[in-house]
Amino acid sequence: MVSRIRVCAEQAVRAGRTCEARQCHLPVEKVSRYCRKHSHNRERYGDPLGRHIYKSELKAYKRLAAKYIAANRAHSAIAAALRWLHNLLYNSPAPPTHPNRRMSPQQRSLRFLSRLAKNGVTAEGTLCLIVALEMMREHDPFTFVSDAHYRAMLAHHVCRLAPGPFVAVWRGGIGGRKYDRLSVGTRNFLASKVISSIGLVALGAARAILKVETLENSLLKGVNVPINFQPTTKGKP
């Protein structure tokens, strides 16, 4: 019996379907809407045109965010966000003892959160990272090609604050283990949870930091003076 996936893949080849990503005309990969490269990008980075955001790119933003959070720890919104993050990391239910393929995204996310707690990741460090990502998006909107790309990178960097959980593998008759991958469902679940709860606080903090930084480091003096456009009378400029 021919599998359904193989039938769909053959139909795609016969119909000459091409990748739906912008300016890409390569044939689609099996039953995907995209070619091999773009479907890989979509799975890894959340968007077919997305790319990985490296830790080194976030470094400068994280430094500014850490300074801001340390100075405004008593602010009610920052304090509430820190409390929420602390609860997420340290008061979440215990993950399933026997991981299996049928685990829900919520159960999978608990495995990553418990690893973060075990490695002593702090609420301050996590908030600092989230604010840094928001700053990056505000400062250079072209870094993230879509909201899905931003969400994928947010969940990725939060889960990579500590080494991930392990899964058992069977290779050539020998049992072993490897780091569990962060699935698309888990990534979306975690990112939605974080953004819906503390996204607004992180955005507010990011804008406040950037406002001060751009004014202080601007080469043009007086850019913060509001520009008043006076209406001109006809004939008299």
Name the site residues for Zn ion (rule: CB under 5 A).
19, 21, 24, 26, 35, 38
Strand, coil or helix: 167: strand
**What is the DSSP secondary structure assignment for residue 22, as one 8-state letter?**
T
Structure tokens, 13: 């080849």
Q: Is the Cβ of residue 12 or residue 35 nearer to Zn ion in the bound state?
A: 35
Q: Say if residues 123 and 66 touch (Cβ distance below 8 Å).
A: no
Q: Is the Cβ of residue 17 or residue 193 nearer to Zn ion in the bound state?
A: 17
Q: Is the Cβ of residue 35 or residue 133 nearer to Zn ion in the bound state?
A: 35
Q: Which of 202, 190, 51 is nearest to 135 (CA)?
A: 202
Q: Is the Cβ of residue 32 or residue 109 nearer to Zn ion in the bound state?
A: 32
Least spacing, CB of residue 30 vs Zn ion, in Å:
13
Give me the numbers of helices (H) and strands (E) for the chain, helices first please. Answer: 8, 2
Q: Is the Cβ of residue 24 or residue 66 nearer to Zn ion in the bound state?
A: 24
Is the CA virtual torsion 161, 162, 168, 169 positive or negative? positive
Residue 43 phi/psi, 5° resolution?
A: -70, -40
Please list, in sequence order, all residues whose beta carbon lies within 8 angstroms of the beta carbon of residue 213, skipping any fewer than 6 positions away. 64
Least spacing, CB of residue 146 vs Zn ion, in Å:
16
Least spacing, CB of residue 43 vs Zn ion, in Å:
13
Least spacing, CB of residue 109 vs Zn ion, in Å:
30
Structure tokens, 19: 């990748």
Q: Which of 126, 185, 187 is nearest to 152 (CA)?
A: 187
Least spacing, CB of residue 167 vs Zn ion, in Å:
30
**What is the DSSP secondary structure assignment for residue 41, as one 8-state letter?**
H
Structure tokens, 24: 């890409």
Q: Is the Cβ of residue 24 or residue 167 nearer to Zn ion in the bound state?
A: 24
How far apart CA 208 and CA 48 sit, in angstroms, is 32
Least spacing, CB of residue 35 vs Zn ion, in Å:
3
